[in-house]
């Protein structure tokens, strides 16, 4: 979708003003601050995201010639109700820290319900890309680097507290029939049982992305560098949970006619999982067979926690989200898989 000058209806007025201010401050640039092209980007189920590009203007015999080679930024408009699931200020601080560490796009400006970000010269991955061995290896190496980042705040894993918090909110906000369908009254006991079964002393903990779906991974086609983006759910957690969640995302394709459905046959097989974990562990030099086997076992268990995590996410967002997505249908998929494979 392209728009001309009247963009006020496409983005909040505060963002529109900030975009004009940003463009007007560029020196020696031919971009017209008031000539903006907006393009919605699909795939996000938490925020509304748009590519913003300024048309360049060149004089051609007294006339202005417009082209689409101008500068770009990304406009992120926060989804309604997102603060039910994470703390926005903590997320912004993590974003700023990532930027300082050279791990993601730069923060260009903030407005009340969103922000402007640097537009990366890279493409977002597609679902099939996750199965490409060369790309998967790059993701594994980058994820290991991500887990080693020093991010301000407590390094205590947040997973179990988050699951309990989301369960309580889901039960409070949902209709009685939803509470019954998803067995929300008994889910606290199920979470406690799962934690006792899979959480072990001394497990690897790092700063985890927690939402490593293909839409949150970008690759530069020229140099092959991979960048992880969108840190709304990022916290310290067992690294096995982060990798398990990434494996689960291989079952999804959010650009089909039924984006809420998962294809269990697409869950990575043993050789794919081994290759990923081996590449991941090479980053710390402990990729011998025993360590690979141990981490793979932990990952297999944390798949169950991933199903509960995103099942509850779906239930919560079904109550507040404005984005067109079958959140309850997705929750049903995740809980179906949980109860199918639970310990």
Alpha-carbon gap, residue 51 to 1, rounded angstroms: 10
Least confident of 94-108, 128-142, 200-214: 94-108
User: Which CA distances in Å does 276 have to 8, 40, 44?
Assistant: 45, 33, 25
Percent of the chain with pLDDT over 70: 89
Alpha-carbon gap, residue 148 to 323, rounded angstroms: 33
Q: Which fold has domain 120-341?
A: Aminoglycoside 3'-phosphotransferase; Chain: A, domain 2 (3.90.1200)
Q: Is the pLDDT of residue 261 over 50?
A: yes
Q: Which residue has the tokens 């991979």?
A: 226
Positive or negative, the Cα torsion across 66, 72, 77, 79? Answer: positive
Residues 279-323 have pLDDT tens digits of: 999 988 887 899 999 999 999 999 999 999 999 999 999 998 878
Question: Is the domain defined by 1-82+105-119 classed in CATH 3.30.200?
Answer: yes
Delimiting residues of CATH 3.90.1200.10 domain(s) in the chain: 120-341
* pTM recorded for the entire structure: 0.88
Query: How many residues are listed for the chain in this entry?
Result: 343
91 closest CA partner among 229, 225, 245 = 229
Delimiting residues of CATH 3.30.200 domain(s) in the chain: 1-82+105-119
Residues 266-275 have pLDDT tens digits of: 999 999 999 9
pLDDT band at 79 (very low <50, low <70, confident <90, very high): confident
Q: Is the pLDDT of residue 77 over 50?
A: yes
Alpha-carbon gap, residue 312 to 335, rounded angstroms: 9
Helix (H, G, I), strand (E, B) or coil at 333: helix
């Amino acid at each position: 979708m392209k728009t001309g000058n009247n963009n006020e209806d496409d983005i909040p007025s505060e963002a529109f003003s900030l975009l004009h201010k940003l463009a007007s401050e560029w020196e020696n640039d031919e971009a017209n601050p008031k000539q903006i092209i907006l393009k919605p980007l699909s795939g996000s189920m938490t925020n509304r995201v748009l590519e913003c590009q300024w048309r360049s203007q060149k004089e051609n015999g007294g006339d202005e010639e417009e082209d689409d080679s101008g500068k770009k930024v990304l406009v992120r408009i926060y989804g309604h109700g997102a603060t039910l699931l994470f703390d926005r200020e903590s997320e912004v601080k993590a974003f700023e820290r990532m930027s300082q560490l050279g791990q993601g796009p730069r923060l260009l400006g903030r407005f009340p319900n969103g922000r402007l970000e640097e537009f990366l010269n890279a493409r977002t991955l597609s679902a099939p890309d996750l199965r490409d061995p060369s790309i998967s290896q790059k993701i594994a190496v980058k994820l290991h680097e991500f887990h080693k980042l020093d991010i301000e705040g407590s390094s205590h894993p947040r997973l179990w507290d988050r699951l309990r918090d989301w369960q309580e909110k889901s039960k409070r906000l949902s209709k009685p029939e939803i509470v019954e369908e998803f067995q929300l009254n008994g889910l606290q006991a199920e979470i406690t049982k799962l934690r006792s079964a899979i959480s072990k002393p001394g497990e690897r903990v790092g700063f985890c992305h927690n939402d490593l779906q293909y839409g949150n991974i970008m690759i530069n086609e020229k140099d092959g560098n991979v960048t992880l983006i969108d840190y709304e759910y990022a916290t310290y957690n067992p690294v096995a949970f982060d990798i398990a969640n990434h494996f689960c995302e291989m079952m999804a394709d959010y650009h089909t006619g039924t984006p809420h459905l998962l294809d269990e046959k697409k869950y990575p097989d043993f050789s794919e999982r081994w290759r990923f974990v081996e590449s991941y562990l090479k980053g710390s030099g402990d990729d011998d067979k025993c360590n690979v086997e141990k981490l793979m076992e932990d990952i297999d268990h944390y798949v169950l926690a991933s199903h509960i995590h995103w099942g509850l996410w779906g239930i919560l967002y079904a109550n507040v989200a404005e984005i067109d997505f079958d959140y309850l249908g997705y929750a049903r998929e995740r809980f179906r898989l949980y109860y199918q494979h639970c310990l």
